[in-house]
A and B are shown apart, each in its own frame.
Chain A
Amino acid sequence: MNILSMMSNLSGMKRKRNTSKQAEGVLVALMLITLFASLRYDAFLSEYNIMTFLSYNSMFILIGLGMCFVIMTGGIDLSVGSVVALSSVVVAHASPYGIEVALPVGILVGVLAGAINAFVITKLKIVPFIATLAMMLGARGMALVLSDNQSVQVSWDSNFTQFGLGKMFDFIPWPIVAMLVAFVFCWILLEKFAFGRHVLSIGGNEEASKLMGLEVNKTLFGVYILSGALAGLSGVMLASGFGAGQPLEGLGWELSAIAAVVVGGTLLTGGLGSITSTLLGAILLGLIFNILNFENGLGTISFSAYWQSVIRGGFLLVVVVIQAKVINSKMRRTEF
């Protein structure tokens, strides 16, 4: 009798990875909604709508990507919305020097915020929820101080607003380009670099990761800095796209980002996640606004703007309940 082959059989209880299934689910939902909308609204698939939609949602997608990394480590970053506001205010002040200066400055603001978050979490051993909550208040306060409680007009003389309003090759808006670059960067980082593996390992089992010699603190620094940097970039988009640094913008964006990550199937407990499905999740949530606008445009029913949040919450409810049912049925009897 070959014990080893028996063992191998014994171990043959294989499961598909949860995340790939989840990404498929999000993709199917996205395609169905797109199909529905494109049949119902003539202008839905127009170049204008697609570009405007993606351009506007680039900011949310960026934050979602950063949040995805943070959540994969088992943490959370509540500060991103405030960091967007702070960055927009700072770059508005820097806008006369042109986008060449403002862009790095905006990202640097986010990097600094992320580094402080990481420092408080790893060195002062304060749970991410609390540490980033403090940064959320701190960054917001800072934005208000630097803006004197008012929005800060950007300079229209420099090329600063070109970033938010211009297009590459007169075709793709720059925010979309930046978002796509960030997406590809994040995807490669997660799938191809050891860093990404370490992020997932830390979220899966921090103790074990430490024993395996992963530099947990360094990785966490990387993750929170990445999240901050993407929020900073998002702030640059906000200022240059809307012509002002806005200290009160970005309220609740962190929660939208979390929602996007969750809809994308990333586990809030860490250890499992996907960049692609986070992108899809963010687009999916954004589409709801888009569709409501079209629906109002049709004029058959009129939804007040307030319905959007109700429907958005309802949509999140549906996704989360379906997800819970799938996960709960899978979790059954998989422990040994």
Chain B
Amino acid sequence: MNSSTLAESPKPKVPTVGTKIASQIKNNGALWAFFLLLVINILITPNFLQIQTLYVNLTQVATVAIVAIGMTLVIASGGIDLSVGALMALAGTVAPMIFLSDFGVANPELGLFVAIVVAISAAGIAGLFNGFLISKYKIQPIIATLILFISGRGIAQVLTNGELQTFDNPSFEFIGTGRVFGVPVQAWITLVLALSIAWVLKRSIYGRFLLAVGGNEKAAELAGVPATKVKLMTYMVCGLLAGIAGIITTAINSASDANQTGQLMELDAISAAIVGGVLLTGGRLPSLVRF
């Protein structure tokens, strides 16, 4: 028998409209869940749909979006990050500590720069720590990031003894309340981050590797994908983005509050990532782990 007669009947499965819709519903269970969340909130939470709530939500949109971008990357890698809220608190606390210090007061411009860089880096290093536990020790992401969820905020609280740090620093507050061409600075930051990360995901080797690791880690490693590096990178980026969000929050409030900054942010970010992440990754998020 020669190979042509043996060729299997050409039957690449062409999905019908019916199966397509069915699989859409199946794959996007998260989307439905989000609507469920929304409906429950509207029905149950007092004042959920009132103007004031809407305003509060709007000012929170930028930070939620920024953290959600990082969460999307983490979810795409097949993980989850519970520590983002705590890392926001950490970064939000560290920055004023630096520009309010003697050094910061003596060198206002350099101090502000160092404050922002160090604060964001601290969150990035914390993210790296998450990634390290997950990729090297193979600890389940929900547990690995639970550690910093518990102690990250604790560290911020210990640093400030749990007290509010208020400040009056217009340059720093500009990040939270300033406007460029009439659009809030935080919106610009969010836009730039979202576009650049979407571009990186689509065009770069990192983006492809990320989806491969999230889709089938074993196979990806066998194909030479540096899964450990990809995960370290992903959790680090998630940490960095949480750090940026923390700084914005602190700048909006003209005060850092280790107890409140980023409270429950992990939940908002996960919900947002599930909905928005579908757009960012072309609908190829793994079905939110198996939790």
In the complex, are there CB atoms of A and B closer than 8 Å?
yes
Query: Once the chains are docked, how many angstroms separate the CA of A130 from the CA of B158?
Result: 33
Given contacts A309-B151, A312-B151, A313-B151, contact A133 B271 (CB under 8 A): yes
Residue from A130, A136, A258, A262 within 8 A of B288 (CB atoms)? A130
A225 on the interface (CB 8 Å rule)?
no
Given contacts A126-B29, A269-B290, A320-B144, contact A133 B270 (CB under 8 A): yes
Given contacts A130-B288, A133-B270, A312-B151, contact A306 B44 (CB under 8 A): no
Residues of A close to B139: CB separation below 8 A:
320-321, 324
Residue from B40, B158, B270 within 8 A of A138 (CB atoms)? B40
B291 on the interface (CB 8 Å rule)?
yes
Residue from B144, B147, B154, B289 within 8 A of A129 (CB atoms)? B289
Given contacts A125-B26, A262-B143, contact A134 B137 (CB under 8 A): no
Name the distance in Å between A112's Cβ and chain B's nearest Cβ.
14
A134-B40, A311-B151 known, 20 other contacts, Cβ within 8 Å: A124-B29, A127-B288, A127-B290, A129-B80, A131-B33, A133-B33, A133-B37, A136-B267, A137-B37, A138-B44, A144-B45, A258-B146, A304-B161, A306-B157, A309-B151, A312-B154, A313-B151, A314-B147, A317-B147, A324-B133
Name the distance in Å between B187's Cβ and chain A's nearest Cβ.
26
Residues of B close to A126: CB separation below 8 A:
29-30, 32-33, 36
A-binding residues in B (CB < 8 A): 26, 29-30, 32-33, 36-37, 40-41, 44-46, 48, 80, 82, 133, 137-140, 142-144, 146-155, 157-158, 161-162, 267, 270-271, 274, 287-291
B137 near A321: Cβ-Cβ < 8 Å: yes
A328 on the interface (CB 8 Å rule)?
yes
Query: Once the chains are docked, how many angstroms separate the CA of A138 from the CA of B33?
Result: 13
A328 near B133: Cβ-Cβ < 8 Å: no
Q: Smallest CB-CB separation from B140: which chain A residue?
A: A268
Name the distance in Å between A90's Cβ and chain B's nearest Cβ.
14
B44 near A141: Cβ-Cβ < 8 Å: yes
A76 on the interface (CB 8 Å rule)?
yes
Residue from A133, A313, A324 within 8 A of B267 (CB atoms)? A133
What are 26 inter-chain pairs, A to B, with CB distance below 8 A? A75-B291, A124-B29, A125-B26, A126-B29, A127-B288, A129-B289, A137-B40, A137-B41, A137-B45, A138-B44, A141-B44, A144-B45, A144-B46, A149-B46, A268-B140, A269-B290, A309-B151, A309-B157, A310-B155, A311-B151, A313-B147, A313-B150, A317-B133, A317-B147, A320-B137, A321-B133
Residues of A close to B148: CB separation below 8 A:
313
A255 on the interface (CB 8 Å rule)?
yes
A197 on the interface (CB 8 Å rule)?
no
Chain B CB count within 10 A is highest, among A133, A136, A142, A311, for A133
Q: Quick one: which of A200-217 are within 8 Å of B by CB?
A: none
A308 near B154: Cβ-Cβ < 8 Å: yes
Query: Once the chains are docked, how many angstroms separate the CA of A279 from the CA of B169?
Result: 50
Given contacts A268-B142, A306-B162, A312-B150, contact A320 B37 (CB under 8 A): no
Q: Which 4 A-B pairs have the closest CB atoms?
A: A313-B151, A309-B154, A129-B291, A141-B44
Q: Smallest CB-CB separation from A324: which chain B residue?
A: B137
1/0 contact string of A131-162 vs chain B (CB within 8 Å): 10110111001101100010000000000000
Given contacts A134-B36, A321-B133, contact A259 B146 (CB under 8 A): yes
B151 near A310: Cβ-Cβ < 8 Å: yes
Residues of A close to B37: CB separation below 8 A:
133-134, 137
Residues of A close to B147: CB separation below 8 A:
313-314, 316-317, 320
Residues of B close to A327: CB separation below 8 A:
138
A40 on the interface (CB 8 Å rule)?
no
A36 on the interface (CB 8 Å rule)?
no
Residue from A137, A142, A313, A325 within 8 A of B154 (CB atoms)? A313
Residues of B close to A129: CB separation below 8 A:
80, 288-289, 291
A128 on the interface (CB 8 Å rule)?
yes
Name the distance in Å between B177's Cβ and chain A's nearest Cβ.
28
1/0 contact string of A213-257 vs chain B (CB within 8 Å): 000000000000000000000000000000000000000000100
A74 on the interface (CB 8 Å rule)?
yes
Residues of B close to A108: CB separation below 8 A:
none
A172 on the interface (CB 8 Å rule)?
no
Query: Once the chains are docked, how many angstroms separate the CA of A141 from the CA of B46?
Result: 7
A307 on the interface (CB 8 Å rule)?
yes
B40 near A309: Cβ-Cβ < 8 Å: no
A165 on the interface (CB 8 Å rule)?
no
Q: Quick one: which of A280-336 are within 8 Å of B by CB?
A: 304-314, 316-317, 320-321, 324-325, 327-328
A120 on the interface (CB 8 Å rule)?
yes
Chain B CB count within 10 A is highest, among A127, A259, A325, for A127
Query: Once the chains are docked, how many angstroms separate the CA of A74 from the CA of B142?
Result: 13
Query: Once the chains are docked, how many angstroms separate the CA of A246 from the CA of B130?
Result: 33
Q: Quick one: which of A104-121 are within 8 Å of B by CB?
A: 120
Residues of A close to B267: CB separation below 8 A:
133, 136-137
Name the distance in Å between A332's Cβ and chain B's nearest Cβ.
11
Query: Once the chains are docked, how many angstroms separate the CA of A313 from the CA of B133?
Result: 13
A145 near B142: Cβ-Cβ < 8 Å: no
Query: Once the chains are docked, how many angstroms separate the CA of A327 from the CA of B139?
Result: 10
Chain B CB count within 10 A is highest, among A74, A120, A320, for A320
Q: Smallest CB-CB separation from B83: which chain A residue?
A: A313
A145 near B288: Cβ-Cβ < 8 Å: no
Q: Smallest CB-CB separation from A206: which chain B residue?
A: B290
Chain A CB count within 10 A is highest, among B44, B287, B288, for B44
Name the distance in Å between A152's Cβ and chain B's nearest Cβ.
15
A258 near B143: Cβ-Cβ < 8 Å: yes
Residues of A close to B36: CB separation below 8 A:
120, 126, 134
